[in-house]
């Protein structure tokens, strides 16, 4: 049955539902990536965004978060979400920075697929790509003496490789270094997960198997 849209609110509610319904893995995976990165103070610190260090640490030098007994996770007390967004250091799409004198570093992430296992059209090979851009004027991490793009990549690898963040085991399939022509060092990580191929559909707030699955 088609979803009934009559008012502007009906339309807006339908669009809002894309954020929470499990139909589209691209949207859902990007939310999971954001959460995984936001709860990683090592990664945020490695971005060396001086204007946000007061959000990451308190006045005594402690990491600015607290343990939540309900969720069994640390919860940020500072505005760590300021590291994320279309104009921030961490972006949910590929963004190639322009040449600039201000020293800033970026992490971009993408979710895609272009292949399904043979004879398994209900599954697909999903790739999660992280592209790390490090400004050449701040290319070495002074604390570790590790190239900053390699340090950031290692933190991401540690968090995602062989993890179940997406519900199925994720593994690293590619790690490549490159440069841009505008003074940025680049490292690109690609992870792969075998997951379902759009087998559910949400209509009128109810999630069920897609019509294709029901016909099988």
Q: Where is 114: in which H helix or E strand?
A: none
Residue 161 phi/psi, 5-degree rounding, is -65, 130
In the prediction, which pLDDT does 101 show?
A: 75
Tell the burial category of 25 from Cβ atoms under 10 Å away from its Cβ (0-12, 13-18, 19+): buried
Check whether 1 has a pLDDT greater than 70: no
pLDDT tens for residues 107-147?
999 999 888 777 777 788 999 999 999 999 999 999 999 99
The pLDDT-based confidence of 96 (bands split at 50, 70, 90) is confident
Domain ranges of the chain: 25-197
Query: Nearest-5° angle of CA 95, CA 99, CA 103?
Result: 90
State the pLDDT confidence band at 214, using cuts at 50, 70 and 90: very low
Separation between Cα atoms, residue 172 and residue 164, nearest integer Å: 13
What is the C-alpha R_g of the chain? 20
Side-chain-side CA neighbours of residue 101 (13 Å)? 0
Whether the Cβ atoms of residue 107 and residue 88 lie closer than 8 Å to each other: no
**Sequence-distant (≥ 6) Cβ neighbours of residue 36 within 8 angstroms:** 159, 160, 165
| pLDDT tens string 143-169 | 999 999 999 999 999 999 999 999 999
Q: How many other C-beta atoms are found inside a 10 Å radius of the C-beta of residue 17?
A: 15
Let me know how long the chain is: 216
pLDDT digit string, tens, across residues 18-52: 777 766 788 889 999 999 999 999 999 999 999 99
Per the rule left: phi > 0, alpha: psi between -120 and 50, beta: everything else, 205 is left
Task: Provide the 10 A C-beta neighbour count for residue 181.
Answer: 6
Q: Are 27 and 19 spatial neighbours (Cβ–Cβ below 8 Å)? A: yes
């Amino acid at each position: 049955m088609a979803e009934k849209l009559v008012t502007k609110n009906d339309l807006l509610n339908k669009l809002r539902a894309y954020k929470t319904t499990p139909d589209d893995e691209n949207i859902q995976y990007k939310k999971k990536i954001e959460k995984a990165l936001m709860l990683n103070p090592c990664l945020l610190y490695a971005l060396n965004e001086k204007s946000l260090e007061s959000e990451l640490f308190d006045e005594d030098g402690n990491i600015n978060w607290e343990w939540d007994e309900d969720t069994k996770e640390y919860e940020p007390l500072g505005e760590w979400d300021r590291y994320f967004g279309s104009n921030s250091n961490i972006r949910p799409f590929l963004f190639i920075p322009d040449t600039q004198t201000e020293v800033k570093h970026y992490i971009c992430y993408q979710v895609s697929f272009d292949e399904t296992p043979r004879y398994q059209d209900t599954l697909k090979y999903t790739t999660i790509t992280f592209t790390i851009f490090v400004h050449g004027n701040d290319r070495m991490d002074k604390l570790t003496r590790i190239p900053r793009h390699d340090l950031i990549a290692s933190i991401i690898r540690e968090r995602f490789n062989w993890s179940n963040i997406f519900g199925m085991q994720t593994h690293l399939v590619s790690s490549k270094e490159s440069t841009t022509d505008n003074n940025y060092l680049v490292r690109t990580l690609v992870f792969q997960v075998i997951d379902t191929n759009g087998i559910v559909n949400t209509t009128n707030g109810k999630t069920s198997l897609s019509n294709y699955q029901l016909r099988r």
